[in-house]
Every structure is written in C-alpha cells, then in structure tokens.
Amino acid sequence: MVLPAISQRGLFALLYPNFFILCFIFSLVCVGVRFLLPRTWDTALGALTQSRWQLSIVSVLGLLYLYIGCLILRFPGYVDPVEPMVVAASFFSVHSKPVYDMVISYGPLCFLPYGLAMKLFGATVAVLKGVVGLANAVFILVLFVIFKKLFRWPSSLLATILVLSTCLMKQNYLFQARGDLFIYVAVALSLLAAISEGGALGCVLMIAAVTLGCGVKVTAFMYFVYPLSLFWQRHGSRLLLLVAAGSILLSFLPFALHTLNLHDYLHWLTVMSHQPKSIREFLGNVVITGLLLFPCLLAYWQLHRRHHSLARQFLRENWIPFSFMTGSILAMDVLASKIGAGRHHLVPYFVFTGYIVAQLIHKSRSGMPSSSSPGLLHVYLCGCLALLLLLTEVSELQDVRTLTRQEAAQSVALENDVNRVLASYSGHRVELGNGIGEFDLEREYSPMFSAPQLIFAGGSYTFDPSAQADIEMVNEPMRESDLRHVASCESDVWLIPRGQVPFHSVSIYSGMYPDRYSGRLLFPATFERMFLDTYSLTSSSHYFDIYTCKRPR
C-alpha cells in the first residue's frame, strides 16, 4: 500500500535533494530582491503582514489538509498495519472479550472511544472514521482557541494550520484509527488548560488531558511536562497536586471493565520495555529535536535583537517551563529510539513549539512599531519552513491520490470476498492467519487488513503480525494459550493469504533492519507444523486459502 511509504518521507523531506535545491534558489531570490530591489522587498514584507495574505496561506495549506483528510476518510479500508489491531482491541473492549489476551501494550483509552462508537452506531469502517473526523475537529478547535488568546483571528487561523501541517510531516496519523490522534488532542487540551485564567477550569481540562494521553500510551506523560510546569507557575502547587491525584484515579477507572485487565496490561508493558534500541532511530530523533527547538531559538533571537528588555522578561518568565520541555524532548529521544518506535513520537511537541513561537511573535509585535519588518535571515528561514511544509503536503497528496486510485477497488473486492467466505461457512468461527507476511504495499491492498471484518462477524484475532514481530524481537516465547487455541481447533476455519505458507511469516523488522533481523520468522517451525497437522487446505477464494479443522466437531 502507498501510505506506509510516506513514513519514509514526510518530515524527512529535509533529506530530499529537491528541498535543498529549492532552498538554494529561494536564498538567491531573497538576497537579490533585498539588495537589488529594496522597495519591492519592503512592499512584499508589508503585504505579508496583512490579513488577506495570511488568509491566502491558510486557504492553500488548509485545503490541502482537508483534501488529504477527505481522501483518507473516504477510503473504504485501512491505511496502516496497526489499524486492524487497534480496531480489533476496540471491538473486544465493549464486546465481552479480554483485550489483553491480544499482544498489545497500548492503554485502554486507545480503544474505548472507538469501541463505544461501534457499540452505539454499529461496527463499520464509516463509524471508526467518524470518530477520527470528530477528533480532528476537536484538535483544530482547541488549537484555534489557544492561538486566539495571542492573535486576531486571521493570524490564529494561520498558526493553527501551520501546526496541523507539521503534524502531517511524519505520517498521517491524524487521519488513522489509532491512538496517536487522541494524544494530539490531549496535548493541545493540556496547553489550553495551562494557559486558562480560571484555576477550576484549568484543573478539569488538565486532568482530562493527562488521563486521555497516558490512557493511550504510558510514555505520553513526557508530553505533559511542559504544560504541567506552566500550570504550576500560573495556578500553584495545590492545584497541581489535585491534577496529579485526579489523573491517577481516572487512569485506573477503565480497568473496572471486565474486558480490561490491569495485570495483563502491565505484563505487556514490561515485555515491550525490553525492545532493543537503535542508534539510527536515536539520531533521527535528534534531527527532529533540532527542528522542534530551532524555531523557538530563532524567534527568541529576533525578539532579543529588537527589544532586549522584553526578551529578558520572557526568559525570566519561561526558562523553567522551556527547560522542562527540552528535558522531556531529550528523554523522548531515548524512549523513542527503540526499534519500531521512531520519530512520530516527537510530533506532539510541535504544538508547544508553535505556541512558544507565537508567544515570542506576540511579544515582538507589542514592543515594536507596526512599520517594523522582519530581517532577511528571518524571512529566509521562514521561507525554507514554508517550502518544507508545501513539499511535504504536496508529496503526501500525490501518494494519497495514488492510494485512492489503485486500492479503493481492491479494498471493496477484499471485503466482498470475505463476505462470500463468511456466507459459505455460516455458523463457523472464521479467523485470519498469517502467511509469509510480505506484500508489495505500493501496489496491493494487504489481505491482512480484513481482520476487523472477521472480528465483527464473531471471529477471534490471535496473531497480529505487527504485535508478533514485537514479541519475537524480545525473544518472548509463544503463550500456551495461543498454542492451545490452534491445537484444539477453537477457530473452525482459518483464512491464509492465497498461495502462501501458513504462519511462515517474516518479521517486518527484517526489511527495516536487515543487518540485525535478516530473515527472522515470527513463528517457530514447530508451530507451523502443528497448524498443518491440525488444519488442512480445503478450498480457496480470490484472496485466501481456506483451512478447516481436520477433526470432526
């Protein structure tokens, strides 16, 4: 499929030769116009500070964002290998099946919003994407309210759409049925809570934000270090302790559901904590850290150059929160250096970068006459950022359009094929199994994305390929319950991608890290033999080989 390939680009448009060529051309244009046509330079800068030009930028980036979002949300299937696992856990969380019987280390609030929506409105892809669309609307609204506290509405819209664009620079998790979107919402909500005037309102919002974020991923606590330090500065230690107590209490509340077992959740957290780290991932995180901190330093330098007293005042008021934020980013660099983690874990910090830069611009405007214009270096660096954002979004738009053309029909055909199999084996429990695990995701829609459809029809989901790759990497042995599940024919029928050897699956990390995991299989050979001793190939559909239990039931 196309979209996973975007994760190799996105923010790393920085590494495109085209990006450097464009920046070089842009620098020549800036220098030439600045010194050869000074009046034109001043006129252009004056125009860029006007609302109509800001709204033009908002319109271009905003329409790209909406168009990409609509294409993905209208797509009749899933666009990332993690989505089926999250959807399966979401369905189980509200349908009396223990979630952590699966190999999964996400928190309960990664699943419950999707699960409750499916419980209320039906288990369909459209309902899941409705939740994603609603969460996007909340994210946008909260960002706009934050920036509206500093600017008039045209500049607030511009700041909002720039933050949204940076969130699209590393994969498009904003539009996927995963937990990352809820973390983005929680981060924005925590910042709004930190800058709220009312202590009671801020306390409630902060408790909700921290509970939601940490309820999706435990490591999300690092994102709240900066807003919590702001909250402490504004509202004091007593309310901060109340936030801590309320967040801890509410974080344990979901485990009151019989489908969410705290002990099993902690077990998988412990297992996944042993994943090895990669220097390649760490260095990539350091690059993103530079992109996070550099705009703040540039904006502060501009303020200091123009108005020393305002710069010193800002530093006195904000050095503690900024130090905490920098420390949490560096800590996240290490946490996200685990194999399989990656740079998208740093994306939520762009919300804080946007706010800090907005604060500094607001300070700079308040301390300078309205006729003042930004300097050459400032314009050049901002222009490079604009080129990066535009290059990223246009690239992603091209890929998403390719996805829509190539794979929408395949997604529908796969759904119809599964429906025919379910009709043929009515009354049987049908489950999806792994094949070799290698698909050309640039050209075909993976049959593994049909797992939620089988689950909605009453099937199980025992072996998710992404989760299985994680536990194989840490040498976690197969669970006895999984072995019994296959040996006792708990699922009458297994669907294996057509033409593939059942459970002869290559780890996804084999391609990502060939020097460390080349040719690593997810399942031991003894498990493959046990499956073939228990099930036999009886027929095939368009997409699957159908294996049924050899023993009469």
| 378 and 524 co-located in one domain | no
Cα dihedral value 304, 310, 314, 316, nearest 10:
100
25 in a structural domain: no
Same domain, 206 and 274: yes
| pLDDT for residue 27 is more than 60 | no
How many domains is the chain partitioned into structurally?
A: 2
Over residues 314-330, mean pLDDT: 91
pLDDT in tens, 203-238: 999 999 999 999 999 999 999 999 999 999 989 899
Question: Which pLDDT tens digit goes with each residue over 506-525?
Answer: 877 877 777 777 767 888 88
Residue 367: the pLDDT is 56
With respect to residue 229, please indicate whether it lies within any of the assigned structural domains: yes
Lowest mean pLDDT among 5-14, 412-421, 511-520: 5-14
- Quote the tokens at residue 86: 């999250």
Alpha-carbon distance of 181 to 166, in angstroms, equals 14
Higher-confidence position of 190 and 462? 190
Compute the chain's Rg from CA coordinates.
25
| Greatest mean pLDDT among 23-27, 29-33, 280-284, 509-513 | 280-284
In a shared domain, residues 396 and 450: no
User: Is the residue at 413 inside a domain?
Assistant: no
What pLDDT does residue 51 have?
58
**Residue 135 sits in the same domain as residue 77:** yes
Q: Of the spans 53-57, 489-493, 503-507, which averages the highest pLDDT?
A: 489-493
Query: Which stretch, 54-58, 435-439, 527-531, has highest mean pLDDT?
Result: 527-531
Asked if 397 contacts 68 with a C-beta cutoff of 8 angstroms, the reply is: yes
Are 371 and 436 within one domain? no
Q: How many CA atoms lie within 13 A of 91 on its CB side?
A: 24
Rounded CA separation 26/489 (Å): 65
Last residue of a domain, which of 400, 415, 440? Answer: 400
Q: Write the CB contacts of 318 (distance below 8 Å, at least 6 apart in sequence).
A: 356, 359
Residue 208 counted as domain residue: yes
**Residue numbers of the domain that contains 152:** 45-400
Helix (H) or strand (E) holding 129: helix 125-148
Q: Are 360 and 296 in contact (CB under 8 A)?
A: yes
466 and 393 assigned to the same domain:
no
Q: What is the pLDDT of residue 349?
A: 93
Q: Which residue has the higher pLDDT, 192 or 32?
A: 192
109, part of any domain: yes
Same-domain pairing of 50 and 199: yes
Q: How many CB atoms lie within 10 A of CB 511?
A: 11
Instruction: Specify the range with the lowest mean pLDDT, choosing from 48-57, 169-178, 277-286, 527-536.
Output: 48-57
167, part of any domain: yes
Q: Which pLDDT belongs to residue 21?
A: 52
Residue written as token pair 């504004």: 234
For residue range 370-408, what is the model confidence (pLDDT) as tens digits? Answer: 444 555 445 545 555 555 555 555 555 555 655 655 567
Considering the domain architecture, whether residues 88 and 128 belong to the same structural domain is answered as yes
Residue 363 has pLDDT above 90, yes or no: no
Confidence (pTM): 0.86
Count Cβ atoms below 10 Å from residue 497 Cβ, excluding itself. 22
Same domain, 150 and 85: yes
89 lies in the same domain as 225: yes
Q: Is residue 32 part of a domain?
A: no
Last residue of one domain, picked from the residues 400, 435, 459: 400
Q: CB neighbours (10 Å) of residue 373?
A: 14
- Number of neighbours of residue 263 by Cβ within 10 angstroms: 8
- Report the pLDDT averaged over residues 529-547: 92
Domain C-terminal end among 358, 381, 400:
400
Residues 442 and 515 reside in one and the same domain? yes
pLDDT at 129: 93
Q: Is 382 a domain residue?
A: yes
Query: Are residue 301 and residue 436 in the same domain, yes or no?
Result: no
